[in-house]
Structure 1
Amino acid sequence: MQAVEFARKLASKLFFQHVLDEILFEDGNHLYRFLDDDPIVASQCHNIPRGIITVKPKSMTEIASRLRLMSYAMFEAYASEDGRHVDYRSIHGSEEFARYLRIVETLQRVEVWDLSREEKLAFFINLYNMMTIHAILVWGHPAGALERRKLFGEFKYVIGASTYSLSAIQNGILRGNQRPPYNLMKLFGAKDKRSKVALPYPEPLIHFVLVCGTRSGPALRCYSPGDIDKELMDAARNFLRSGGVLIDSTAKVAYASKILKWFSVDFGKNEAEILKHVSNYLDPADSQVLLDLLASSELKVIYQPYDWGLNC
């Protein structure tokens, strides 16, 4: 009985788990495996270069704070002032990046499900943006749609004994487990432990802060739990007022970022609702023009070409 209790304690600390992730630990004919024996962890996860860390993990709050400070230092040193250009070549091999890698190694056995909404938003946004940089440095900038799908779906970290791809963070956690664009299935099934970490509903403003290494994406910034809602609104204003939505009142046309098309369900049920949502973040004059055109039912929306080139 003591052996069973000891094994349950190890399992609760995320050293190993049931192969089907159905039970914690029970005596009997059940199969378990250590975290670093999981084939997905071993082959696809990039924050376990030296195996599973056996020391007691730091608190999630402390790790998130360290990640935030390191991200801020890296962006200050290697991103342009407006956050639109990243010096990937200098990041690679830098001391800051080496320290970042040591920080994300400590995520393997953390307890992430107890974070507040604000903590989850700040942590996963910062992690997504740094993880994207990591993925590009390891795999290179994806040249086409298939390579992009691989980078966002197969480059993973272990966080709290579960594996997270960039897509899982964006669509599973931050979008409240919504289907990714052009996909039929949600990423997390009913029994998936990661669904407990997911936000209860999509946060549409994340699309103005998640940086996937492209020229048409948002500016690279660091986010904090204490100010996350203000920071999200500021990022939305910055993106939408800097070309994310352009209005030609004479032609009665709104030129909108493709992001608003791909993730339209997060902003509204139809195009009018989406643009009304967006109008909250435009300059007041542009917002009024947009609302007037919507009211007249004469507005045409054209989605801008998306530049997938690297934001270097």
Structure 2
Amino acid sequence: GEGDAEEVARGLQSMVLSLYDSFLTPDGSRVDFSRMRGSRALAAYVRASGALREGVSLSALASLPEAGRKALFINIYNALTLHASLALGERGPASPEHRGAFFGGDSGARYSIGGFAFSLDDMEHGVLRGSPQGDARSFEEGDPRLCLTVKLDPRIHFALNCGAASCPPIKIYDAGNLEEGLTLAARSFCDAEVWVEGGAVTMSKILMWYGGDFGASEGEVLRRVSGFMSPGPKRDALLALLEGGSWEVRYRDYDWSQNA
């Protein structure tokens, strides 16, 4: 039932938290994969992740409050990325030829949840981005997993860690801290990844790939991003460009090397 789903989710979240605590560098941006790979803590997590298959039903997950469902899938996405990066090694996201399969292919990262297979793409696009129409990675009409979709909150892009050095750092979310946690994740990411120099704005490619989640035009995206940033000279410079109506946007190359 619903309580079982929450219990399994809480148990996995606490194991993931202890894994991250044990093997993350102090700033939260890197994972010590070599130490983690042979650890008892990882073996225990792998065993426990089997409870997603048997101990959770889609209907129980669907009956969770939306904030709980969103937090659960952010955490499971980050946990699966970590687990699969360790298991698949050279076939992980750092390799351009394996990247598509890692996120969405049958040979890539996936968990069985309530008897249904979920790839990382299913979790991100099907559930957390609300299965947007016209995106081939969305759930198709009639897919039983559609009951899990949540309303798109573009701040999820600052919470999902895809196992690469340019990804946001890993944090743990729950229904109680989700709103504050996503606000902080958006602020810290945009403060660090948005630069204004002269008439040019340089940003992470995440804001190019998913620009449509933040706004219908470049100006809307920049205004949304400015709202995430801390008050200060950088935000003021961005707002001044927006007021002036003229700017150039550049996107930094994405560093896909493993965040280890």
> Structure 2 length as normaliser, TM-score?
0.91
Deviations 1:9-52, CA, capped at 9 Å, x for gaps: xxxxxxxxxxxxxxxxxxxxxxxxxxxxxxxxxxxxxxxxxxxx
CA contact (8 A) 1:208 1:235 kept: yes
Q: Using the aligned pairs only, state the percent identity.
A: 34
- Secondary structure of the corresponding residue to residue 201 of structure 2: strand
Q: Does structure 1 residue 197 correspond to structure 2 residue 148? A: yes
The Cα shift of 1:148 comes to: 0.6
- Work out the CA distance in 2 between the residues paired with 1:149 and 1:160: 24
5+ residue gaps, structure 2, are none
For 1:279, the equivalent position in structure 2 comes to 226
Match of 2:169 in 1: 219
Question: Structure with the greater relative contact order (CA < 8 A, sep ≥ 6): 1 or 2?
Answer: 2
- How well do the aligned residues superpose, as a CA RMSD in angstroms? 1.7
Task: After superposing the two structures, state which structure 1 stretch, 183-192 or 218-227, moved more.
Answer: 183-192
Q: Give the unaligned 5+ runs of structure 1.
A: 1-55
1:174-185 alignment to 2 at 5 Å?
A: 174-178=128-132, 185=136
State the Cα distance separating 1:174 from its structure 2 match.
Answer: 0.4
Report the CA distance shift for 1:231/1:143 in structure 2 as closer, same or farther (over 3 A): closer
Deviation track 1:120-177 (CA, whole Å, cap 9, x = no partner) reads 1111111111100111111113443330101111321110111100010011100001
Q: Out of 208-217 and 134-143, give the one that drifted further.
A: 134-143
Deviation at 1:101, TM superposition (A): 1.2
Matched-pair contact (CA < 8 Å) for 1:209–1:235: yes
Residues 165-191 of structure 1 deviation map (CA, whole Å, 9 limit, x = unaligned):
001001110000126xxx852421110
Task: Provide the secondary structure at the position in 2 that maps to 1:103.
Answer: helix
CA positional deviation for 1:293: 0.5
Give the counterpart of 1:159 among 100, 113, 133: 113
The amino acid across from 2:67 in the alignment is E
Q: Is the 8 A contact 1:108 1:159 kept in 2?
A: yes
Q: CA deviation at 1:246?
A: 0.9
For residue 166 of structure 1, what is the amino acid of its counterpart? L
Aligned residue identity for 2:11: R
Q: Secondary structure at the match of 1:226?
A: coil
Cα deviations across residues 273-304 of structure 1 (Å, max 9, x unaligned)?
11111111212122222112012112111111
Which residue type is aligned with residue 162 of structure 1?
F
In the superposition, relative to structure 1, how do residues 186 and 136 fare at CA in structure 2: closer, same or farther (>3 Å)? closer
Task: Tell me how many residue pairs correspond in the alignment.
Answer: 250
Instruction: Measure, in 1, the Cα distance between the counterparts of 2:17 and 2:87.
Output: 21
- SS, match of residue 301 in structure 1: strand
Of 157, 182, 188, the residue aligned with 1:207 is 157
TM-score, structure 1 as length reference: 0.77
Cα distance, 1:58 vs structure 2:
7.3
Residue pair 1:209, 1:220 contacting (<8 A) in 2 also:
yes
How do 1:1-312 and structure 2 match up within 5 A? 59-109=4-54, 110-111=56-57, 112-140=61-89, 141-154=92-105, 155-178=109-132, 185-199=136-150, 201-242=151-192, 244-248=193-197, 251-285=198-232, 286-312=234-260
CA change 1:97–1:295 in 2 (3 A) is same
Give the letter aligned to residue 140 of structure 2: G
Instruction: Specify the code of the residue in structure 2 equivalent to 1:291.
Output: L
- Point out the more displaced range, 209-218 or 97-106: 97-106
- SS at 2:235's partner residue? helix
In the superposition, relative to structure 1, how do residues 57 and 207 fare at CA in structure 2: closer, same or farther (>3 Å)?
closer
1:57·1:106 contact (CA, 8 Å) conserved in 2?
no
